[in-house]
Amino acid sequence: MSKVRSCVVKMTKLYLETDQPKTDQSIYINKLKKENIKLEAEKNELTKKYQVKTSDPVLNDVIDRIFIRHRQGMEKFKVTMAQNSKTIPEWIEETIEENIDSISYMSTLKDRIVEREEKLLKELDIKNDELTILNLQNDKKDEQIEKLKLEKVNAVEEAKKEADNLMIKKIKMYENKLAKYGKEKK
């Protein structure tokens, strides 16, 4: 792949340095387009070749992210990690800076999670209180309903007793009238 890349670099330099008319420059453009197509095909083949899949979707995501990050690095820096000429102290400093960023991100995320958790717990407490109040209100209503039922049953019982007493009085009254009427006839 590095041979193809160096070829493209040479052709690009040649194209930029030339003062030939546009018709002659189109030859270079066409060659560059063909080389670009070859490079894209090679990149796609390498991506397929090194595409690793496991049974773990989390690992697959991490692997995909590594490949994406690698491509971004190659586009930005044009060298692999192995080809990078940083010194050991520079690598250490780079790692320290990355870890500081990582710690800052994690601290921010932790604060947001704790804040959200506290908010959700407060909302849950409020909802539990509302539910408790509703249950107490329903229990009180149930008690009132039972009390009303009992009052109605008692009222019906009282009405029955009164009706029975009235009936007994009427029967006695009729018995008395009948007895009186019977004495008068004799």
Q: What predicted TM-score, i.e. pTM, was given to this entire model?
A: 0.42
C-alpha distances in angstroms, 163 versus 35, 90, 112, 159?
A: 112, 107, 75, 6
Q: CA-to-CA distance for 11 and 28, rounded, in angstroms?
A: 7
pLDDT of 24 reads 67
Q: Which residue has the tokens 């340095």?
A: 17
Q: CA-to-CA distance for 49 and 35, rounded, in angstroms?
A: 21
State how far Cα 180 lies from the chain centre.
94
pLDDT of 164 reads 92
Q: Are 57 and 26 in contact (CB under 8 A)?
A: no
pLDDT of 8 reads 55
Q: CA-to-CA distance for 13 and 135, rounded, in angstroms?
A: 82
pLDDT of 109 reads 97
Q: What is the pLDDT along the chain (186 residues), one digit of tens a residue?
A: 455 556 556 666 665 565 555 556 777 788 888 888 888 888 777 766 666 678 899 998 998 898 889 889 889 988 888 888 899 999 999 999 999 999 999 999 999 999 999 999 999 999 999 999 888 888 888 888 888 899 999 999 999 999 999 999 999 998 888 888 777 766
